[in-house]
Structure 1
């Protein structure tokens, strides 16, 4: 009888971070943790995975491979310049390129992208998803943050408080998420 080694965890853009967007009371908050991990080792605790784009009119956050995410941010910025003020169109065009371009198909990341009107989750499978309830989350701790934010929506009026509390829950539960948060706010 041969002994096989245990299966290794698959490489996935959904491991290694948590990004959360909360929209409520004419305010949009996108928050992300700062942990960068390689395997089970923390390499950096202060990464900035959330940033404003399009002169501050769009907020975006990424989960997945950092270099891939920066490549996607650059492509999204170009789409936003081509289609100014049209976030839905820019996201659809990026998703089409991401799905069909040989180079881009290999990019392992997910994005949350939002402006004053709408929030989207973008994936390499060509998805442009508009989440319900004014909340979107991605990354390894995304489901924890999403659940906590959904639970807080009826009890808290300020989306920044909701986002911070929900991310704190995710950081306490997910080993790939820390409590060094980057927060971007956009009044809608």
Structure 2
């Protein structure tokens, strides 16, 4: 089976009024074939109050985003409760168990990573990165967050730019959403 490498996502929160998520646009099939340069893997959901970004299978991620938004509806917009409910469903539902993706979700109070093995992780600091170039973007975001006064959006863009210059699965066609 040919594996798709589908992204780098970075999220940064510098207080309740400065929350941003961004992702590159590259989707790569196998080791070398770039299938798409302009995929959008970040979006606002739930009355424009929650940001989501995904890494992994695009179709799986769309399905997960829809399910997550329904969990937000069920839990009155409570991000943490909705994330835990999605992780439980994702892990226990036979059809969903095979979905291959990671999600970052954020609102004005929280920043979380949700995975299919039932994990909901809140990072120690208010930044996180996932995906093929996630380690590069995370390192860049950490340095910028801790050593500059840059805004969340500036950090996200710069971290993705740095990752795209290092990781062959990350490009510089960056999409950004902010609260």
Fold similarity call, TM over 0.5: yes
Q: CA deviation at 1:16?
A: 2.8
Indicate how the Cα distance of structure 1 residues 121 and 68 shifts in structure 2: closer, same or farther if over 3 A, else same: same
Aligned-pair Cα RMSD in Å: 1.5
Aligned residues: 176
- Quote the Cα distance in structure 2 between the aligned partners of 1:27 and 1:97: 31
Structure 1 stretch 157-166 or stretch 53-62: which is displaced more?
A: 157-166
| Residue in structure 1 matched with residue 118 of structure 2 by the alignment | 126
The answer as to whether partners of 1:34 and 1:181 remain within 8 angstroms in 2 is yes
Question: What TM-score, normalized to structure 1?
Answer: 0.90
1:181 aligns with 2:174: yes
| Residue in structure 1 matched with residue 25 of structure 2 by the alignment | 34
The answer as to whether partners of 2:129 and 2:138 remain within 8 angstroms in 1 is yes
Q: CA deviation at 1:136?
A: 0.9
| Residue in structure 2 matched with residue 20 of structure 1 by the alignment | 10
The answer as to whether partners of 1:121 and 1:128 remain within 8 angstroms in 2 is yes
Bigger radius of gyration: 1
- Quote the Cα distance in structure 2 between the aligned partners of 1:16 and 1:68: 12
- Which residue, 148, 151, 155 being the options, matches 1:155? 148
The CA deviation string for residues 16-61 of structure 1, in whole angstroms up to 9 with x for no partner, is 3100001114300100000111112111101110000101100000
**Deviation >2 Å, runs of 4+:** none
Question: What TM-score, normalized to structure 2?
Answer: 0.94
In structure 1, list runs of 5 or more residues that go unmatched: 1-7
